[in-house]
Amino acid sequence: MPFRVALMGIYHESNTFVPSATTGEDFRRGQYLSGAAIRAEYQEAHHEIGGMLEVLDREGIEVLPILYASATPGGTITAATSDQLLADLCAGLEKVLPVDACLVVPHGAAVAEEFRDLDGHWLGEVRKMVGEAIPIIGTLDLHANVSQQMVAATNVLVAYRENPHVDMRQRGVEAATLLVDQLKGRITPVQALVQVPLAISIEQQATAAEPCRSLYAFADRLRQEPGILSLSIQIGFPYADVEEMGASIIVVADGDRARALATARRLEGYLLERRDDFVGARTDLQAAFRLIDSSARPVLLLDMGDNVGGGGPANNLAILEALEERKSYRYFVCICDPEAVRAAESYRPGQSFVLTLTGTRGEGTATCQVEVTLRRLTAGSFQESRPRHGGQINFSMGRTAVVETAPGSVIMITSQRVMPFSLQQLISHGIDPAAFDAIVAKGVNAPIAAYAPVCPTMVQVDTPGVTQADMTRFEYRHRRRPLFPFER
Q: Give the tens place of pLDDT for each residue, 291-300.
A: 999 999 999 9
Contact 63, 39 (CB under 8 A): yes
Q: Is the pLDDT of residue 362 over 80?
A: no
Neighbours of 67 (CB within 10 A): 24
Rounded CA-CA distance 292/321 in Å is 16
Q: Is the pLDDT of residue 28 over 80?
A: yes
Degrees to nearest 5, angle at CA 330 with 329 and 336 = 110
Rounded CA-CA distance 64/99 in Å is 9
Q: What average pLDDT does this structure show over 328-335?
A: 97
pLDDT of the residue at 361: 87
Rounded CA-CA distance 204/274 in Å is 13
Q: What average pLDDT does this structure show over 181-206?
A: 97
pLDDT interval class at 376 (50, 70, 90): very high
Q: Give the tens place of pLDDT for each residue, 38-86.
A: 999 999 999 999 999 999 999 999 999 999 999 999 999 999 999 999 9
Q: For residue 352, what are the β-bridge partners?
A: 373
Q: Is the pLDDT of residue 363 over 80?
A: no
Q: Is the pLDDT of residue 132 over 80?
A: yes
CA R_g for the chain: 22
Q: Is the pLDDT of residue 474 over 80?
A: yes
Q: Is the pLDDT of residue 280 over 90?
A: no
pLDDT of the residue at 488: 86
Q: Give the tens place of pLDDT for each residue, 445-455.
A: 999 999 999 99
pLDDT interval class at 122 (50, 70, 90): very high
Cβ-Cβ contacts under 8 Å for 199 (sequence gap 6 or more): 236, 238, 245, 246, 247, 471, 479, 483, 484, 485, 486
- Chain mean pLDDT for the chain: 97
Helix (H) or strand (E) holding 258: helix 257-273
What residue type is 31 in one-letter code?
A: Q
Q: Give the tens place of pLDDT for each residue, 385-439.
A: 988 988 898 999 999 999 999 999 999 999 999 999 999 999 999 999 999 999 9
Q: What average pLDDT does this structure show over 178-184?
A: 98
Cβ-Cβ contacts under 8 Å for 84 (sequence gap 6 or more): 24
Percentage of the chain modeled with pLDDT above 90: 96
What residue type is 58 in one-letter code?
A: R
DSSP letters of 205-244?
A: --TTSTTHHHHHHHHHHHHTSTTEEEEEEE---TT--STT
Q: What average pLDDT does this structure show over 111-134?
A: 98
Q: What average pLDDT does this structure show over 4-22?
A: 98
Cβ-Cβ contacts under 8 Å for 465 (sequence gap 6 or more): 304, 305, 306, 307, 312, 313, 316, 360, 362, 363
In this prediction the pTM is 0.95
Q: Is the pLDDT of residue 88 over 90?
A: yes
